[in-house]
Amino acid sequence: MSVQTQDDSIFEGSESFTLSANASATVGGDRFNLTDTGTGTITDDRDGANNADTPELSVSSDSVVEGGAAVFNVELSNDVDGDVTYEFALSLDGQNAEWDDFASNPLSVSYQLDGVTYSATANNDGSYTIAGNATDIQVSVQTQDDSIFEGSESFTLSANASATVGGDRFNLTDTGTGTITDDRD
């Protein structure tokens, strides 16, 4: 017996199912009842450019006038059947922005789930746990206005997304560049 499965683009990891078979018959006045079960495993499709279920992570870039918030869009290419842990970090390595250019707690994270926007709360370790089917994940980075003429300054937002679903794990990283434009005061 074969069981047809459905290919989708959701990262689900390995999934198991049970097929039960029952047969009964009467032969020469004797009745027989036979029952057996078998377990099947559906392995998530990881081969091929168009059908690979493992998502890709992308982070946009943004430009902001000092004192405003740079908004980075963070996106997974495919839904995940479970929660995803995100970690976000600012970096000034190789950039010309300074830590004084940012508010004291510069990051805020929001996302949409079923059309409703939520503010994400950081876990104790600073990571964020967000449903794998969340959309419109945005990381806002609040900058500080000052009276120093600095020209344009840049910084990097790095994002890491990881999850383990059905015994399969992914760990993805991407970055976006923020540009702070002087407000000329």
Amino acid at 51: N
The predicted structure's pLDDT at residue 27? 84
Residue numbers of the domain that contains 134: 57-181
Q: Determine if the pTM surpasses 0.85.
A: no
Instruction: Say if residue 157's pLDDT is above 90.
Output: yes
Look at residue 26 and tell me if it is in a domain.
no
Look at residue 160 and tell me if it is in a domain.
yes
Higher pLDDT, 176 or 151: 176
Look at residue 95 and tell me if it is in a domain.
yes
Question: What is the average pLDDT value for the chain, to the nearest integer?
Answer: 86
CATH number, position 70: 2.60.40
Look at residue 33 and tell me if it is in a domain.
no
Cα–Cα distance measured from residue 146 to residue 132, given in angstroms and rounded to the nearest whole number? 39
pLDDT digits (tens, 9 = 90+) for 61-103: 999 999 999 999 999 998 898 999 999 999 998 788 889 999 9
Look at residue 16 and tell me if it is in a domain.
no
The predicted structure's pLDDT at residue 83? 95
Give the CA distances from residue 103 to residues 16, 69, 98, 108, 147, in Å, rounded to whole numbers and listed in that order: 48, 10, 11, 11, 15
Cα–Cα distance measured from residue 168 to residue 27, given in angstroms and rounded to the nearest whole number? 49
Instruction: Say if residue 6's pLDDT is above 70.
Output: no
The rounded percent of the chain whose pLDDT value lies above 70 is: 85
Look at residue 48 and tell me if it is in a domain.
no
Look at residue 152 and tell me if it is in a domain.
yes
Look at residue 47 and tell me if it is in a domain.
no
**Structural domains in the chain (count):** 1
pLDDT interval class at 50 (50, 70, 90): very low
